């Protein structure tokens, strides 16, 4: 007698390296693939994420259709619980399988749904396909969660990775189904004139992920340790959005990286997958961190909330070319280089004394790789209030950071074209150019390009004074 399993896809939009799908096939089930839009109760899906998700889902649905299956899209007007129950009833589902997410809201929802399924005598099982290691099983020698990356990395880097399951995609027996909704019915694409640059910057498909891997390995990956901090170069993999949506799995990537046999790839690129693991480890064990600092003592930090300053930062109008170039790249492409993320983050929370939560919220809405664990960890790191964080008194100088990491000026010239004719010596500090030099470059400060919203020495002093004030209070 035939039996049908619903495989519930979330941020694991791939057919290979997928434990939930492989288990269902191995157990002889007909497969009904299901997706429901993951709108968090307190953290709705960001706009850039929705853009990517639209095309990722279209591509994933096509992959399934090409194999003879049909992706069922849950009704977005229903809660996830309601949509699942409706499909389970309609198709007489006997098993529901999924790959775990370790985000706080997802854990609560999955626990609730698993209890319901078991109460209905429906087989319910979840798997770990989205991380190299299950964070519930990773602790330090004291049996407590890690809070520093290096010991975390050293404890895990030699551990055996559970191999990805082997699955002959042609062997999948798909359940007969008629999809009442299409991906277009989710209305994921933006309705405002935004994200037009995304189309030139990305190919948000499984084949796009594999092409990105092929273009990165082995030459660019080998040069990664030397070029990773240069936003003016193609020195990073740009695989983070594909990883976030699960179009490629971390085990697949680690296997490919290690297959190069290049120690530079192992010490540089592979290590970044463990940073991703560390971020998820922190989110799982310290589930309040998306909105509150890891260390409670930072909750009373004396921020000076100012919507005008936040808006100038968001729009790339701070008067600091390296900061503005990065923020404009983000708005145009949905992505920002990691070194640039540190620079703009430090500027917001230290020079401008704006809460790190403001930055996290903006990144959440505008990044195509807006992963909750990475976003939370990154912002708490730069604010100095999280695990392994940069000390608050470490204030990035946006001028010297630009001079050091945008050596040729190519990054600023691309994203701040109004400054493109300035001599390199003034490109990261245009206010130092003489009026004659500014005129020759066609730049009028305050008109073509803004004056700095705060002088660097004043911003640094402001940050250090706030830190001293906080120390006196705590």
Taking a C-beta distance cutoff of 8 angstroms, is the pair 159, 251 a contact?
A: no
**CATH placement of domain 131-162+206-285:** 1.25.40.80
**CATH placement of domain 4-130:** 3.40.50.620
In a 3-state reduction of DSSP, which class is residue 96?
A: strand
Question: What b/e string do you get for 284-320 counting C-beta neighbours within 10 Å, with b at 16 or more?
Answer: bbbeebbeebbbeebeebebeeeeebbebbbebbbbb
Compute the chain's Rg from CA coordinates. Answer: 24
> What are the respective helix, strand and coil percentages of the chain, to the nearest 5?
50, 5, 45
pLDDT at 41: 56
pLDDT digit string (tens) for the chain, length 474 residues: 579 999 999 999 999 999 999 999 999 999 999 999 976 656 788 999 999 999 999 999 999 999 999 999 999 999 999 999 999 999 999 999 999 999 999 999 999 999 999 999 999 999 999 999 999 999 999 999 999 999 999 999 888 888 889 999 999 999 999 989 999 999 999 887 777 789 999 999 999 999 999 999 999 999 999 999 999 999 999 999 999 999 999 999 999 999 999 999 988 999 999 999 999 999 999 999 999 999 999 999 999 999 999 999 999 999 999 999 999 999 999 999 999 999 999 999 999 999 999 999 999 999 999 999 999 999 999 999 999 887 877 899 999 999 999 999 999 999 999 999 999 999 999 999 999 999 999 999 999 999 999 999 999 999 999 989 988 876
CA 392 to chain centre: 24
| Contacts (Cβ under 8 Å, ≥6 apart) of 290 | 43, 104, 283, 360, 372, 376
Report the candidate in 410, 397, 257 with the shortest Cα–Cα distance to residue 323. 397
Where along the chain do the CATH 3.40.50.620 domains lie?
Answer: 4-130
How many angstroms separate the CA atoms of 74 and 225, rounded? 43
Q: Is the peptide bond before 218 cis (omega within 30 degrees of 0)?
A: yes
Give the bridge partners for 5, in sequence order.
31, 95
Q: What's the number of CA atoms in the CB half-sphere (13 Å) around residue 420?
A: 8
Report the candidate in 313, 323, 351 with the shortest Cα–Cα distance to residue 463. 351
Question: What b/e string do you get for 242-261 counting C-beta neighbours within 10 Å, with b at 16 or more?
Answer: bbbbbbbbbbbbbebbeebe
Tell whether the torsion through CA atoms of 413, 417, 418 and 421 is positive or negative: positive
pLDDT at 162: 86
Where along the chain do the CATH 1.10.579.10 domains lie?
Answer: 296-473
How many angstroms separate the CA atoms of 395 and 392, rounded? 7
Taking CA atoms, 469 is separated from 299, 306, 389, 461, in Å, by: 14, 19, 19, 12
Q: Which string of DSSP letters, residue by residue, matches 201-232?
A: H---SHHHHHHHHHHHTTHHHHTHHHHTT-TT
pLDDT at 40: 61
User: CATH classification of 296-473, choosing from 2.30.140.10, 3.30.420.40, 1.10.579.10, 1.10.10.10?
Assistant: 1.10.579.10
Where along the chain do the CATH 1.25.40.80 domains lie?
Answer: 131-162+206-285
Q: At what angle do helices 398-405 and 338-346 cross, to 10 degrees?
A: 170
Q: At what angle do helices 80-90 and 104-119 cross, to 10 degrees?
A: 30
Q: For the beta carbon of residue 384, count every other beta carbon within 10 angstroms.
A: 21
pLDDT at 179: 87
Report the candidate in 219, 204, 206, 220 with the shortest Cα–Cα distance to residue 252. 206
| Contacts (Cβ under 8 Å, ≥6 apart) of 186 | 37, 54, 57, 73, 76
How many angstroms separate the CA atoms of 122 and 94, rounded? 5
Tell whether the torsion through CA atoms of 337, 464, 311 and 191 is positive or negative: positive
How many angstroms separate the CA atoms of 131 and 161, rounded? 10
């Amino acid at each position: 007698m035939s039996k049908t399993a619903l495989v519930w896809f979330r941020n694991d939009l791939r057919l290979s390296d997928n434990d939930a799908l492989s288990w269902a096939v191995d157990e002889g089930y007909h497969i009904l693939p299901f997706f429901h839009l993951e709108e968090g109760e307190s953290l709705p899906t960001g706009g850039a994420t929705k853009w990517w998700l639209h095309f990722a889902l279209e591509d994933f649905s096509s992959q399934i259709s090409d194999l003879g299956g049909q992706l069922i899209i849950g009704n977005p007007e229903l809660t996830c619980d309601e949509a699942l129950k409706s499909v389970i009833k309609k198709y007489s589902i006997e098993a529901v399988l999924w790959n775990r997410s370790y985000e706080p809201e997802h854990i609560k929802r999955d626990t609730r749904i698993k209890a319901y399924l078991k109460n209905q005598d429906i087989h319910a099982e979840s798997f770990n396909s989205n991380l190299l290691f299950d964070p519930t099983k990773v602790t330090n020698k004291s049996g407590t969660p890690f809070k520093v990356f290096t010991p975390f990395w050293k404890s895990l880097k030699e551990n055996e990775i559970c191999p990805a399951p082997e699955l002959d995609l042609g062997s999948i027996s798909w359940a007969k189904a008629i999809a009442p909704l299409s991906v277009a019915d989710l209305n994921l694409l933006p309705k405002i004139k935004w994200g037009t640059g995304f189309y030139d910057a990305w190919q948000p498909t499984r084949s796009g992920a594999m092409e990105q891997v092929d273009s990165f390995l082995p030459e660019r990956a080998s040069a990664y340790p030397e070029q990773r901090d240069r936003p003016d170069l193609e020195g990073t993999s740009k695989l983070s959005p594909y990883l976030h949506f699960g179009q490629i799995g971390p085990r697949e990537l680690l296997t490919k990286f290690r297959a190069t046999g290049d120690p530079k790839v192992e010490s540089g690129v592979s290590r970044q997958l463990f940073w991703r693991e560390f971020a998820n480890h922190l989110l799982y064990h310290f589930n309040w961190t998306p909105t509150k600092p890891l260390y409670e003592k930072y909750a009373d930090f004396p921020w000076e909330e100012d919507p005008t300053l936040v808006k100038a930062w968001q729009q790339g109008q701070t008067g600091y070319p390296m900061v503005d170039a990065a923020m404009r790249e983000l708005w145009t492409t949905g992505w920002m280089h990691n070194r640039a993320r540190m620079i703009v983050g430090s500027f917001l929370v230290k020079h401008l004394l704006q809460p790190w939560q403001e930055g996290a919220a903006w990144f959440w809405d505008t990044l195509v790789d807006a992963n909750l664990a990475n976003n939370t960890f990154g912002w708490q790191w730069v604010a100095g209030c999280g695990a392994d964080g940069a000390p608050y008194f470490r204030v990035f100088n946006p001028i010297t950071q630009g001079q050091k990491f945008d050596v040729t000026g190519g990054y600023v010239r691309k994203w701040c074209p109004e400054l493109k004719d300035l001599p390199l010596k003034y490109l990261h500090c245009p206010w130092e150019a003489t009026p004659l030099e500014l005129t020759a470059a066609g730049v009028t400060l305050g008109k073509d390009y803004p004056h700095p919203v705060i002088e660097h020495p004043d911003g640094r002093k402001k940050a250090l004074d706030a830190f001293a004030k906080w120390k006196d209070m705590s």
